[in-house]
Chain A
Amino acid sequence: MKASTQAKLWYAQRISAMLLALCVLVHLVTILYAMRGGLSAAEILARTRGNFSFAIFYFVFVLSVVVHAPIGLARIAEEWMQWRGRSLHIALLLVTLLLTVLGLRAVWGVYVG
C-alpha cells in the first residue's frame, strides 16, 4: 500500500476517533440511564422506535466504528500476527462490510423496526 494511502487511513482513523469520543460519551450516559430498573425489550423499543434524532446519532456512530475499527485491526494483524499484504486487505474489507451491514441492521431494528 502506498505511503500516501496509509497516511490517509491514519487520518481517517483519527477523525473517526474524534467523532467516536463524542458518540461513546453519549452512549455511556444512555447505557447508565437506561439500565436503571432493568431492561425489557418492550421498554427499550417503546423509547427508541421513531426517535429519529437518536436514529441519526447511532447511524453516525456505526459509520464511525466501521471506519475506525478495521484500521486498528490491520495494525494489530501486521504487528502481532505478521499478517500483511493483499490477503489482509481483503479480509479487512470483509470485516468492514460485515460491520456495516450488521450495524445498520441493528440501528434499523431498534429505531425504525
Chain B
Amino acid sequence: MSAETLNMRRNDWRARGNAGYWAFVVHRISGIALALFLPLHFWALSTSLQGAAALDGFLLWTDAPLFKFAEWGLVILLTAHMAGGIRLLVIEFGQWHGTRKLWIAVALAASVAVGVLLGAIMLS
C-alpha cells in the first residue's frame, strides 16, 4: 500500500537535515555508483587476458579528461563508502556510545584527503 492510498503525509527535506541522514545518502549514492562501475572495471582489467597491448588500448582510452575525472570521483566515493561503512559497523557491532557523528567527520576527512592526494598524483 502506498502512502497516497493511505492518505499520509510524507516528510520533505526539513525532516532529514541530520548528519546521520546525510551519511546515509552518501553511503547509498556511492554504493550505487560503485556497483555500476564494478562490471566495467572488471571487464577492463580482463582485457589483459589478450595481452598487454589490449590493456594498453583500454588505458589509452582512460587518458581522456572526463574519464580521469570519473576515476578520481570513484576513488573518493570508494573511500567515503568504506569509512562511512566502518561507522555503521561500529554502531551495529560496537559498544553503544551514541550515533558516532565523529565517524562522519572522519569519513569526510578521509574522502577529502584521498581526493586531494589522488588529484595531486594525477595532475603531476
Write the nearest CB–CB distance from A19 to chain B, whole angstroms. 11
Tell whether A12 is near chain B: CB-to-CB under 8 Å: no
Complex contact A110–B56 (CB within 8 A): no
Number of A-B contacts (CB under 8 A): 96
Tell whether A39 is near chain B: CB-to-CB under 8 Å: yes
Complex contact A42–B56 (CB within 8 A): yes
- Smallest CB gap from A65: residue in B: B38
Write the nearest CB–CB distance from B15 to chain A, whole angstroms. 17
Tell whether A90 is near chain B: CB-to-CB under 8 Å: no
Give chain A residues whose Cβ lies under 8 Å from the Cβ of B75: 28, 31
- Chain A positions near chain B (C-beta within 8 angstroms): 14, 17-18, 20-21, 24-25, 27-28, 31-32, 35-36, 39-42, 44-45, 65, 69, 72-73, 76, 82, 98-99, 102-103, 105-106, 108-110, 113
